[in-house]
């Protein structure tokens, strides 16, 4: 179970009856509750949802509660943790407190003790959590981006921290994730000036230098007058270099000089000019790999990667898909004069199940097409493009699992192995289809006893 609103408690307990009891008690007290059977599942919940408090058992198989506590403290410092163990002692309580636990409960504990601890810890941590929430809301407002999932929350929080800095920022992410919106949000927080966007991959190579830095009359054939470049147009504002990895090698050196000194020369001029513009660069390429391959200057990479923002792929934040889809549908229905439109539950399920290789841009285009072509106020799966509508059929797997009373862990195992079989045992392809990193697939196969820890592949 997941939750995304304030005062959300994540219960981590491997004993099903005790976990169910804790969930029931906390929900009865008015809290929103998420639950996990083990620490790894808890980390997945934390990656995908906004949680305000973790209540975790310490004695669990696999990743122990102490390790979960350490990882929560490192990755989500605003989230307090209440540790629960059957082995209570003063020494143990002191050790857990030093490790970062906000409170300590010894089994067996009574309902009033649990509720009192949860209420106190939430109350004490509220200022810290509200400060973090304010940072992410400021980042979300700046970017004009919709998202409540944990990956987006962390992005918004980081934006809120660096928004007013003048240091260079590198924005990475797949095509269609909204990198330019993030750059524009950072510019809006900067307090003025022009926002000048340059697509480095769309300008012919022989014209890139002139476009960026300008040229003097007579500098080359066709240069019949002086022309200021885009760098000068961004003076006092933000220069956004989209697809920066596509810059030709010669221009990389000139850009580095400009970033280090603020100075440049127009093509065909001797005089040095100076401007003050904040640089935000973006790319969907693997820049460290391009550095290793000799395609991108290492010194330039370090210069533009002072601050880093990564925009997650849409498949990594599925809880945001319904929010985005409904937002786009309302916008396009109004534009088309269609009146109020909505998605049926089955249509939303199909949208969530689709892998969205084109990310938010693809989702926007699909919803726009649907708003124009659908003849009904309620959008159903057959109103969606075939490749999206068929994704919803994966829910048949879920229905079959429910009929067999499989646990979530059993369902995950069966589906993982089915995808692996369908991919002919190719783990890289299977990981791509499952939408998880290869190391995550290897960990699952290791837990299933199908590979050993030292498996070289």
What's the pLDDT at 46?
A: 81
**384 neighbors 344 (Cβ within 8 angstroms):** no
What's the pLDDT at 4?
A: 46
What's the pLDDT at 7?
A: 79
What's the pLDDT at 393?
A: 54
307: buried, middle or exposed (CB in 10 Å: 19+, 13-18, 0-12)?
middle
Whole-model pTM: value is 0.62
**126 neighbors 152 (Cβ within 8 angstroms):** no
Give the residue from 53, 291, 329, 311 showing the smallest Cα distance to 159: 311
Rounded CA-CA distance 282/243 in Å is 6
The token pair at 303 is 């210069």
Q: How many CB atoms lie within 10 A of CB 441?
A: 21
What's the pLDDT at 453?
A: 52
pLDDT along the chain (457 residues), means of 10: 66 88 90 86 77 86 75 84 73 67 85 94 91 70 73 83 87 94 85 87 86 85 83 92 92 91 87 90 95 94 94 88 90 92 87 90 95 91 87 53 62 76 71 74 75 53
Rounded CA-CA distance 316/346 in Å is 21
**187 neighbors 238 (Cβ within 8 angstroms):** yes
Q: How many CB atoms lie within 10 A of CB 187?
A: 24
Cα dihedral: 39, 41, 47, 53 (round 10): -60
* 13 Cβ contact partners less than 8 Å away, ≥ 6 residues apart: 19, 22, 35, 37, 56, 57, 60, 84
**Coarse DSSP helix, strand, coil percentages of the chain, rounded to the nearest 5 percent:** 55, 15, 35
């Amino acid at each position: 179970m997941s939750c995304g609103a304030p005062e959300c408690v994540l219960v981590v307990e491997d004993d099903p009856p005790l976990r169910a009891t804790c969930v029931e008690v906390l929900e009865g007290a008015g809290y929103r509750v998420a639950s996990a059977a083990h620490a790894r599942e808890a980390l997945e919940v934390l990656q995908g949802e906004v949680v305000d408090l973790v209540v975790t058992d310490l004695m669990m198989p696999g990743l122990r509660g102490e390790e979960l506590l350490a990882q929560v403290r490192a990755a989500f410092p605003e989230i307090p943790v209440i540790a629960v163990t059957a082995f209570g002692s003063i020494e143990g309580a002191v050790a857990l407190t030093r490790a970062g636990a906000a409170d300590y409960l010894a089994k067996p504990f009574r309902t009033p003790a649990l509720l009192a601890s949860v209420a106190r810890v939430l109350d004490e941590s509220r200022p810290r959590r509200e400060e973090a929430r304010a940072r992410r809301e400021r980042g979300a407002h700046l970017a004009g981006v919709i998202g409540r999932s944990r990956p987006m929350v962390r992005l918004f929080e980081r934006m809120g921290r660096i928004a007013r800095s003048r240091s260079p920022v590198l924005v990475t992410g797949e095509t269609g994730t909204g990198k330019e919106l993030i750059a524009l949000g950072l510019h809006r927080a900067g307090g003025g000036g022009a926002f000048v966007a340059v697509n480095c991959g769309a300008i012919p190579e022989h014209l890139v230098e002139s476009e960026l830095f300008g040229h003097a009359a007579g500098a080359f054939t066709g240069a019949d007058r002086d022309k200021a470049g885009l760098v000068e147009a961004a003076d006092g504002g933000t220069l956004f270099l989209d697809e920066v990895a596509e810059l030709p090698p010669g221009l990389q050196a000139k850009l580095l000089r400009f970033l280090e000194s603020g100075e440049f020369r127009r093509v065909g001029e001797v005089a040095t000019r100076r401007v003050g513009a904040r640089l935000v660069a973006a790319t969907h390429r693997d820049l460290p790999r391009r550095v290793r391959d000799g395609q991108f200057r290492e010194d330039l990479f370090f210069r533009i990667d002072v601050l880093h923002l990564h925009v997650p792929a849409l498949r990594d934040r599925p809880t945001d898909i319904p929010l985005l889809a409904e937002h786009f549908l309302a916008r396009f229905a109004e534009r088309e004069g269609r009146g109020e439109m909505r998605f049926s539950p089955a249509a939303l399920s199909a949208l969530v199940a689709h892998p969205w290789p084109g990310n938010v841009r693809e989702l926007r285009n699909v919803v726009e097409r649907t708003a124009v072509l659908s003849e009904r106020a309620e959008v159903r799966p057959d109103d969606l493009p075939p490749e999206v509508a068929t994704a919803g059929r994966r829910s048949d797997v879920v229905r079959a699992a429910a009929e067999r009373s499989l646990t979530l862990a059993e369902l995950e195992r069966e589906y993982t192995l089915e995808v692996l079989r369908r991919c002919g045992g190719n783990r890289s392809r299977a990981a791509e289809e499952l939408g998880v990193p290869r190391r995550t697939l290897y960990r699952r196969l290791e837990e299933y006893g199908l590979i050993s820890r030292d498996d070289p592949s």
